[in-house]
């Protein structure tokens, strides 16, 4: 069976169907109309001869790679697992392959963008993986691109999906203030130039202002949404004999919260008796941390599905949703001070 299908050519199909090779090619590649009668005849001959079109040749004829790309800033953060799962689900449903690469524009040692027109039909770019200039280059060349957690610059009509960061953080910090009387709250900032980090800090500031608590830069540390960075920052803060008093930590995200836990535990602080800790994302490990982590549930897998669907709208020449804002939900556990039976 395999030998036979490999030896059959498009010319054999054309001869048996009584049509030209060009007509068979048009039917296979769907790049020009073929009548229903001819299409049925060609399909029947292909089945009879067990002819399988060579996928590479088909892609060359269509000028496609049958692949889409996903650019991430890192492969190590557990946050990316659900995001990748969401993208992959939609890509598979559409019969495409998914290429994944890590790239962070402006980082020393980075060379050319690894994904683009040379190996994909379109790309999904996470947050600050690409610079505004690199995004503009793809956009001006009419290459399909969608963004995650990043607003396109200069009113570019590029679809993007993000989540509700500001209101969720405001609600989370308000809970610390009103339910647990926490007023000296450490903020671990996320990465520079990342919109999620910006809006979470805006929500943090809004909650303090609403309750008459001054924003104190001495309680702001670098967290970068990374456990190791958060651990080093908080450890140095705790080692400073002149540090200000504090009674809570907003880690910025759940990965950073792991580093926060370690630094506090090493310094002898009990969570939540001495210090409340809250995160963001509701990652897989959040319920299993000790104590379980109070956080914000972000629909990360849905974000992945959303951006992939918008990309396929572009590939299918359909009108995409330019802006998708997905809701979040506060999840209360013991790390903030709430008691559960």
The percent of residues above 70 in pLDDT, for the chain, comes to 93
Determine contact, residues 259/230, Cβ cutoff 8 Å. Answer: yes
**pLDDT at position 286:** 96
Reported confidence tier of residue 266, pLDDT bands at 50, 70, 90: very high
SS3 labels along 215-280: CCHHHEEECCCCHHHHHHHHHHHHHCCCCCCCCEEECCCHHHHHHHHHHHHHCCCCCCCCCEEECC
Asked whether the predicted pLDDT for residue 61 surpasses 70, the reply is no
Q: Encoding tokens for residue 53?
A: 């079109």
Model confidence at 261: pLDDT above 70: yes
Of 42-51, 200-209, 316-325, which range is least confident? 42-51
Mean pLDDT of 45-58: 71
Lowest mean pLDDT among 103-107, 219-223, 270-274, 293-297: 103-107
Q: 158 by DSSP, 3-state: which?
A: coil
Q: What angle do CA 31, 34, 39 make, to 5 degrees?
A: 115
Reported pTM:
0.79
- Per DSSP, 78 falls in state T
Instruction: Tell me which residue has tokens 């000296």.
Output: 184
Question: Does the pLDDT value for residue 155 go beyond 50?
Answer: yes
- Which tens digits make up the pLDDT trace of 157-171? 999 999 999 999 999
What pLDDT score was predicted for residue 63? 56
Assess whether pLDDT exceeds 70 at residue 41.
yes
Looking at every residue in the chain, the average pLDDT score rounds to: 90
Which residue segments constitute the domains of the chain, with CATH numbers given? 2-62 (1.10.260.40), 67-162+300-326 (3.40.50.2300), 166-299+330-336 (3.40.50.2300)
Percent of the chain with pLDDT over 90: 73
pLDDT at 5: 46
Q: Which run of H or of E encompasses 180?
A: helix 166-180
Q: How far apart are CA 297 and CA 248, in angstroms?
A: 20
What are the residues facing 326 on neighbouring strands?
163
Max CA distance (Å), the chain = 90
């Amino acid at each position: 069976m395999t030998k036979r299908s490999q030896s059959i050519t498009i010319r054999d199909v054309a001869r048996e169907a009584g049509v030209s090779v060009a007509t068979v090619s048009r039917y296979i590649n769907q790049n020009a109309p073929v009548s229903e009668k001819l299409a049925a005849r060609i399909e029947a001959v292909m089945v009879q001869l067990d002819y399988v079109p060579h996928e590479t040749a088909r892609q060359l004829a269509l000028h496609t790679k049958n692949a889409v790309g996903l650019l991430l800033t890192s492969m190590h953060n557990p946050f990316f697992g659900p995001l990748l799962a969401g993208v992959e689900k939609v890509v598979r449903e559409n019969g495409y392959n998914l290429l994944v690469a890590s790239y962070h524009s402006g980082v020393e040692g980075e060379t050319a963008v690894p994904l683009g027109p040379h190996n994909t039909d379109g790309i999904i770019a996470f947050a600050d993986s690409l610079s505004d200039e690199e995004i503009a280059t793809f956009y001006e060349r009419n290459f399909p691109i969608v963004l995650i957690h990043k607003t396109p610059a200069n009113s570019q009509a590029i679809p993007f999906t993000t989540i509700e960061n500001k209101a969720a953080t405001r609600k989370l910090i308000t809970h610390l203030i009103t339910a647990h009387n926490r007023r000296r709250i450490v903020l671990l900032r996320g990465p520079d130039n990342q919109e999620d980090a910006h809006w979470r800090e805006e929500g943090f500031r809004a909650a303090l202002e609403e309750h008459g608590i001054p924003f104190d830069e001495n309680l702001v540390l670098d967290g970068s949404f990374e456990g190791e960075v958060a651990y080093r920052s908080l450890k140095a803060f705790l080692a400073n004999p002149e540090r200000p008093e504090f009674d809570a930590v907003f880690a910025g995200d759940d990965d950073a919260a792991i580093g926060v836990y370690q630094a506090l535990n090493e310094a002898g602080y009990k969570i939540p008796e001495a210090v409340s800790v809250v995160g963001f994302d509701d990652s897989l490990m959040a319920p299993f941390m000790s104590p379980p982590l109070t956080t914000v549930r972000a629909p990360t897998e849905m974000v992945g599905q959303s951006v992939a669907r918008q990309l396929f709208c572009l590939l299918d020449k359909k009108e995409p949703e330019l802006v998708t804002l997905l809701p979040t939900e506060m999840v209360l556990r013991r790390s903030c001070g709430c008691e559960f039976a």
